[in-house]
Chains A and B, each alone.
Chain A
Amino acid sequence: MSDAAALIRLSGITKIYGSGQAAFQALKGIDLAIDAGDFVAIMGPSGSGKSTAMNILGCLDTPTSGSYEFEGVHVEQLTRNQRALLRRNYLGFVFQGFNLLARTTALENVELPLIYRGEPASARHAAARGALEQVGLQGWEHHTPGELSGGQQQRVAIARAIVTRPAVLLADEPTGNLDTQTGEEIMDLISTLNRDQGITVLMVTHEPEMAAHAKRVIRFIDGRVESDRRNGEDA
């Protein structure tokens, strides 16, 4: 593992919710390095801080203390707008609840990040169609989330996440709302993206079968990293 070239480096990250008596420390000092092209599954029981860590990694939330370097840039020193631009240009998100815009066609949902990037309409349409085809949804472009199954909605969400060709795909329990078989299909899709396009994948899950698709499994307990091992190695 070449620590110097790590894509993401967390050191001493803590997160405290609330203040005073009611304060709750969700993260108690996380040190972590993730290389480009890796596929990391983050596991742990509820309340272990895995989702908090994921949100901080995705710049959706800010740590209370500690340093977070993304390609050598100190994220904790960035402004709100700079973090938004970092999400726009380097990160793609897939959520447990899909989080698609309601009453909005699949194509328009996938186009959305490109609109914020200021891409011209023709390039936008082509890229969005390409991304939908890549997740196996050609022919479903003009359906709204209400007309799609859960698995299809998650595919649209994945297409939206990868349409900008991000460096990192962050997936928070992407199969949590899906049945086992559909979940497996989604995991296959994510694995393919990691293998064929070299997208770094960070995935939170509590299902060992899903974590089995990852190359590296990090286990959180009580706001700390409990174990960190590569799949195929023996614990």
Chain B
Amino acid sequence: MLWNTLLLALRSIRRNLMRSFLTILGIVIGVAAVITMVTLGNGATKSVSDQISSMGSNLLMLIPGQRFGPGSEGAPNFKNADVDAVRNQITAAKAVAPVVSKAVTAVYQARNWATVVSGSSNDYFQAGNWQLAAGRNFSEAEERAGKAVCVVGESVRDKLFGRQNPVGSEIRIKQFACEVIGLLKPKGQSAMGSDQDDIVVMPLRTVQRRLSGSQDINRLTVSVREGASIDAVKTQLTLLLRERRNISENEEDDFRVMDTRQIAETLTTTTKILTMLLGAVAAVSLLVGGIGIMNIMLVSVTERTREIGIRLAIGALEREVLLQFLIEAVVLSSLGGIIGIIIATAASIFLAGLMGVPYLFDPGINLLSFFFSAAIGVIFGYFPARRAASLNPIDALRHE
């Protein structure tokens, strides 16, 4: 009985190609959208947390004002003296890197490239976990004298020098020429999506004199010695800076000390919310697909009811008719689900490559959307049939 019923179900699918195709299409779109969105979201979350762990967990960042970006204008920048005070008084600090950033255009021969110059010290490389691929870092004399030397990141090398070794060449920034003394190993995209290798590092004094024209420092990066308590260092830093910036007891901080764990939490929370949002959008498309299937099934219910009447009249048992419709629904929705998963996998791998996030196969969302779509197919394919098959054959035959 099973074999014959399977034959009837497959014949019916083949005969109603348009209906079958539309049913499958609804499921394919829904399943593919949900899986692709969630997979990409997971990949982005993973990429963010990878980036953060590559930053190291013992890093503190000090910025003026209470938050990143605009809105912190009122708060004064840090000064050179602040850097020395931190170096001298915070004993648990391993490296203290002051940073002055300036957007510039770097020129080498006929090529130019818009990038950001960071003025700092050798501590910058230590705190930021940077390794040299070629050349050397700054000498003490260069730092003290504010010599026109720089260390470039991989992306800058790529844009200005191609595959050539840049060490020893001179690049022009604004009105002065600057010798490239080192090349950094690539780090890839940052957690915020920017290219970390698009970077030129110069001694702090060079940037302050030749580019920013002030003694201001935009931010401080402090790495904490192994074993020291980050929270304790944070408190020390806060007290020290409050004192230096003359903040009275009942005033709020006009700067912020962040540790990487905090940054990590903020960023992963953001990407998780985005993933959920994408998933919700995709779930809507699954729902729309489901409604499409429902429409197709309901539109064909009259024809199918009469067909059921014919089958019953020529001697089919109710359970044979039901089994046939169940098989049809299961075959169509599973086929749609499988095609959807295949498309989603291909699309996810392609888009993950395009977006530079890792591709992570998530069995949970694959199974979930597969079974959800199968359930839609079965509910809308099977239950109208069950009603029809329970009628008297003559009522099913006369269904209008």
Q: Which residues of A contact B (CB under 8 A)?
A: 55, 58, 60-62, 80-81, 84-85, 87-89, 91, 93, 95, 99-104, 108, 112-113, 115-118, 160, 164
8 closest A-B pairs by beta carbon, nearest first, are A88-B315, A60-B394, A60-B393, A87-B315, A113-B314, A103-B15, A55-B394, A61-B394
Q: Could you tell me the distance between the alpha carbons of A57 and B315 in the complex, rounded to whole angstroms? A: 14
In the complex, how many angstroms separate the beta carbon of B325 from the nearest chain A beta carbon? 14
B16: Cβ under 8 A from any A Cβ: yes
Is B310 located at the chain interface by the 8 A CB criterion? yes
- Separation of A164 and B309 alpha carbons in the complex (Å): 18
Please tell me which stretch of B1-9, B69-77, B161-169, B229-237 contacts chain A, meaning at least 4 of its Cβ atoms lie within 8 angstroms of it.
B1-9
- B314 near A112: Cβ-Cβ < 8 Å: yes
Q: From residue B239, how far is it (CB to closest CB) to chain A in Å? A: 84
Closest Cβ–Cβ distance, residue B309 to chain A (whole Å): 8
A116 and B4 contact, CB distance less than 8 A: yes
Q: Which A residues touch B395, using CB under 8 A?
A: 61
- Name the contact of A116 in the complex, choosing from B15, B16, B315 (C-beta under 8 A): B315
CB neighbours of B392 from chain A (8 A):
60-62
In angstroms, Cα B315 to Cα A112, docked, is: 10
27 sampled A-B residue pairs with Cβ under 8 A = A55-B394, A60-B313, A60-B393, A60-B397, A61-B394, A81-B318, A81-B319, A84-B312, A84-B315, A84-B316, A84-B317, A87-B315, A88-B314, A89-B315, A93-B313, A95-B397, A101-B307, A102-B303, A104-B15, A112-B311, A115-B7, A115-B8, A116-B315, A116-B316, A117-B315, A160-B314, A164-B315
In the complex, given contacts A103-B16, A116-B311, what are 12 additional A-B residue pairs having Cβ atoms less than 8 angstroms apart?
A60-B394, A61-B394, A62-B392, A84-B315, A85-B315, A85-B317, A87-B314, A87-B393, A88-B315, A95-B397, A99-B313, A116-B315
- A118: B residues at CB distance < 8 A: 1, 4
Residues of A within 8 A of B307 (CB): 101-102
Q: Given the complex of chains A and B, what is the CA–CA distance between A112 and B8 in angstroms?
A: 9
Residue of B with least CB distance to A115: B4
Please measure, in the bound complex, the distance between the C-alpha atom of A60 and the C-alpha atom of B15, giving whole angstroms.
27
Which residue in chain A gives the minimum CB-CB distance to B303?
Answer: A102
